[in-house]
Homo-oligomer: A and B are copies of this chain.
Amino acid sequence: MSKKIILMGTDTVSGVAAEILDSIIEASKIKTLPYGNDIFTKECREKICKIFEKDDIEILPMMSGSASNSLAISSFLRSYGSVLCHSESHINKDEGGAPEFFSSGGKLISIFNESGKLIAEDLNNKINSLILKGPYNSRPSGVSITQLLENGTIYSIKEIKAISDVCKKHKLFLHMDGARFSNAMAFQESLSPADATWKIGIDCLSLGATKNGAMAAEVIIFFNSELAKEARNQLKQTGHLISKTRFISAQLNAWLNNGLWLTLAKSANEKAIYLSKKLSTLDEFQLLYPTEGNEIFFKIKNTTYKSILELNIIPNLWNKLDDEMLVIRFVTSFETEQSELDELISRIYNKFN
């Protein structure tokens, strides 16, 4: 008996939220100037200024998350510079070398910590040892952190503030990879976007909507307008100046309207927490990190993994620890339905309980 395949390894298997589709259709009805000189992009900037409580924000609507991160980073990273990040960060492990390419050879210098987080003190030590090597070696230019973290947890405001203090001390820019920033914000309901970013020293934020309801919409938010100028210089040359930019902005506008971005993220988070709790009760599933967004990581045996696949459930195979043990990831999305979750849990319970 063949069961319906359940794709639960990434939120990019999802479709597009209805409000966003409507907004695309609406934007198609008029003629307007290309390359971002349109009313939708203007509106998008205004919405973001309002949400982030800052008047002089500059934005670049993008269609790709890799490009959003890489262009943000190369706005302050020259070929002879370096950016410090966690070893397990997306930019270091999963962008195919895009930040290095955008900066024509800039270096990512990675620091490991079990928590998945960059720790301010480690950062400071690393910078000091790099500076010692003198002016001819890769000069630290900036730092990049991810919120929601790659392991599904959240940096506290205090942790980010400590990192940002190190950056200020060494005159480094601070970038935030916010591919799942909406999930992090939805989890910390009482926190304002301003308090979560520029008020604690973030210079630019790569804010992603694609994983959370959009078709292909990301936006680089520059709290530092000097960086925006440099990124804009590189936009066309990297092939990321989209002629009908209005359709990215139209997606973002719907997504940011009436808190839809948070509503969608909250729904995904709730599903993840539910799934996390249910599977954690099983001996075979060792939860690796607290579930603070829409990502859940389990350490399981190779044989368990095979059984899951046989149930037509497809998680993401995150890492092979050794011949026996693996790490898998489940990711829920804005459109994950309770029934789908229940079916997944039921199949696994039947097998392992």
The interface of chain A, by Cβ under 8 A from chain B, is 7, 10, 12-16, 21, 24-25, 27-35, 63-68, 70-71, 78-80, 82, 93-98, 100-108, 128-129, 132-133, 135-139, 210-211, 215-216, 232-244, 247, 317, 319-320
Give the number of copies in the complex: 4
Are the CB atoms of A234 and B79 closer together than 8 Å? Answer: yes
CA distance A308 to B231 in the complex (A): 35
Chain B residues near A94 (CB-CB < 8 A):
133, 137
CA distance A236 to B69 in the complex (A): 12
CA distance A12 to B244 in the complex (A): 6
Are the CB atoms of B71 and A133 closer together than 8 Å? Answer: no
CA distance A154 to B240 in the complex (A): 28
A9 closest partner in B (C-beta):
B33
| Given A15-B28, A244-B210: A237 touches B97 (CB 8 Å cut-off) | yes
Chain B residues near A243 (CB-CB < 8 A):
12, 64-65, 210-211, 216
CB proximity of A309 to chain B, nearest CB, Å = 15
CB proximity of A330 to chain B, nearest CB, Å = 14
Are the CB atoms of B66 and A239 closer together than 8 Å? Answer: yes
| Given A34-B13, A128-B320: A66 touches B100 (CB 8 Å cut-off) | no
27 residue pairs of the A-B complex, CB under 8 angstroms, read A10-B34, A15-B30, A16-B247, A21-B25, A24-B215, A63-B216, A64-B240, A66-B241, A70-B239, A79-B97, A82-B97, A93-B137, A95-B137, A95-B237, A96-B236, A97-B105, A97-B137, A98-B236, A98-B237, A101-B237, A102-B105, A105-B237, A129-B319, A210-B244, A216-B242, A216-B244, A239-B239
